[in-house]
Each structure stands twice: as structure tokens, then as C-alpha cells.
Amino acid sequence: MTAVHPEAAPRSYFDHAAATPLRPEALEAMLPFLTESFANPSGAHTESRRARVALDDARDRIAELLGAGPGDVVLTSGGTEADDLAVQGGWDGAPGGDDGPAAVVCLAMEHHAVLEACRALSRRTGADLRLVRSDPSGLVDLDALAVACTPEVRLVTVMTVNNELGTVQPIAAVARVVGERSPGAVLHTDAVQAVPWLDAAAVTGPADLVSVSAHKFGGPKGSGALVLRRGAVVRARIGGGGQERGRRSGTPNVAGAVGMAAALDATVTCRPAEASRVAALRDRLGDGLAVRIPGLVESGRRQDRVAGILHLRLDGIESESLVVLLDEAGIAVSAGAACSSGAVEPSHVLASLGLDPAASSSGVRFSLGVTTTDQDVDHALDRVPCVVERLRN
């Protein structure tokens, strides 16, 4: 007699801000360079030249879609390396980079990739690290930024979209403050979370250095880019064969670059319609949970956030426990800042808004994307209130 297995419990993925599924266009573009066209693009033979052409074509397309020239795109292993190259390499390449200690300014709510790069820079160079607060809604306090931006500031970094709250920072206004108060400073923005939802070429236009990461918009993990504008210079953080015009050595990841270009192309094409669709799903999810769960607080104003992120705080609930029980209920979400062990710490982003440790440990992020459906929202509306009630009891 054949055993009958019950259908697997449904699962709903609400963690697109951490990683997105690979787009079919990216997979199709990558496959030839994972199989037959595997040669090193730095060689001189026919196979290498074929790989080089593909790499150059991918770079050209990435540059075009991000509002830059092909020579202004440095391919990296992802957003973290792009951020480090921008902060530390951008500092070293900035005018006056060898003149001794100065100051670097960044948001207190920046992603750890930027915060840790700034801290390492401060330790290495003696630079004064100035952290700028945000207002309670998660937007940079421009008055506080103006105070931090004095003439000796050499580099300023302000993210385009916060990875936890989804708030869109006013990069044009930031650039005006930096230009007026620190006219010699280089402005960097981490645009990793912006690409799926915003015209990154336009919103990051005032920045000199822009970081992106492919796996946030349907490309492969381990591929990213740093865009340089207005003659910005970065000194290499990785020495070796002098690839990427001497700005980042190492054998280029041809398949990754090709996949990133294809994913970016598909994202830009679909973005207006997809952003509208996902925003409607996010709002239905947020409104439905607010009705069903007492003491729920939605972080920030919806008009200030990208379509795909819904960040909630729940009185009396520790986010780590909530994430674990939601996973058991078939719902994948995230909270706080995950370290390599998977443990969740109180959110430094929420703490930067002035929240106490208990409130900073009560946040959970639902991040929606191209695979999110009405059925996923229905599933969450059914299961999340039950899990919260279980925890509160």
C-alpha cells in the first residue's frame, strides 16, 4: 500500500530585502559563462576575448542603467565590498587624502557594511567619525548633518534607502548641505535597497560614489558594483593584477556581471508596474495586521518608504522569538541585524531613532518583492496575529 503524504505546509517569503530569487533572465544569461564560455577575460586567446566581450557588454549595460559611463563602473563581489571601496578607497583617493586626519560623516542608521567601513577608516587614519541622527520617522536630520559637515570633512556617506525601515533619504538635499558646508568632501550613497523600487540613476545622481548589489534585484549573489561620478577617484583595496582599471584587482566574475546586467535590465523595465503592485500588497498587509493586532506600530510614514518594506514594532514582543515562531508557521521575515551565527541583536537602526532597548528589540521587517502574491498576504494575515497572541500569552 502506497503511503499518502500530506501536502507541505504553505510558505510565504517576506525577506526580499535580504535576498531575492534569481530572475529567469539572469539565469539564462549566466549559463553559457558557467559552462562553455568559462575563460579568464584577462587572457589574449580567442576564448578569453569572447569572455571579455561579454564582460564589457555587461558593464556597458550596467553603466547605462545606473546613469554612468562604462569606465565609471567598478565591478565588485557585492554591496559590502562596494561600500568598503567607496568609504576607504574613496577617502584615500579624495583630494587631500594624504594630508593627515580629517573627518568622515555617516548616518547612525547606516547598514553595517558602511558603519564598519567608517569605523575601520577612523582606526586606520585617525579620522574623526561623526554619526548623524535621524528623525523619528527614519529620515536624516538635515540640521544635524549641517552641524557635522565642517570644512575638514573629507567624505560623507548617506544611504539612499534604509534596509530595515525602507525610508528614502533626500539625497539631493543631503548633497546641497554637503556642498555648502563641506565643499571638498566626496559624497557616497549605499543604493543597495533602492534599485528594485526607484530610478537609481536619478535619485543617486547628486552622489559621487554609488554602491549596488545584484542579489537585491534578482541577480546572483556575490556580484555588485560601485559607480563613480564627477571624476571621483578610489584607490584599490585589493592589490594584484590591476583589473578594473587598477581600482579592484582579481579575476572578473563574468557570469556574475552578465547576470547582474540582465537582472538590472529586467528590473528597470518592470519597475513602475511592479512597485505599484507591491505597494498595494504592502498596504493591505499593514492595514490588515493593524486591525488584528493591538499595540502594533508601523515604523515611518508610508509616503517616505519604498514599496517593498513594511517595518512593524509590537509592544511586549521580542523580535527574535517572533521571527522563529513565524518561520514555524511558514512565514519568512527578518528582524534587527543578523550576524553570521543568525542571532538577532537589538536594532541599531531603531536605537538611532531614540528608542529604548526594549523597543529596539521589538521590530520585525516584512519585505515584499516580485514573487509576493495576494495569497502570501492572506497567509500572513491569518498566521501572524495567532503567533503574536501566542507570544503575549
Which positions are annotated as active-site residues?
339
Residues in contact with 313: Cβ distance below 8 Å, sequence separation at least 6, in sequence order: 296, 297, 299, 350, 359, 362, 363, 364
d(CA 369, CA 3): 37
d(CA 205, CA 181): 19
User: At residue 168, what are phi and psi to the nearest 5 degrees?
Assistant: -95, 115
- Written as nine digits, the cell of 321 is 522569538
- Written as nine digits, the cell of 89 is 578607497
531603531: which residue's cell?
A: 350
* DSSP three-state, residue 354: coil
Q: Where are the beta strands (DSSP E) in the chain?
A: 12-13, 73-76, 103-107, 128-132, 153-157, 186-190, 209-213, 224-228, 296-298, 309-314, 331-332, 337-338, 344-345, 363-367
DSSP 357-373: HHHHTSEEEEE--TT--
Cα–Cα nearest to 329, from 371, 275, 385: 385
Region of residue 342 (phi > 0: left; psi between -120 and 50: alpha; otherwise: beta) = left
- Written as nine digits, the cell of 196 is 528594485
d(CA 39, CA 111): 35
CA 278 to chain centre: 18
Cα–Cα nearest to 317, from 339, 343, 292, 297: 297
Cα–Cα nearest to 177, from 199, 146, 200: 146
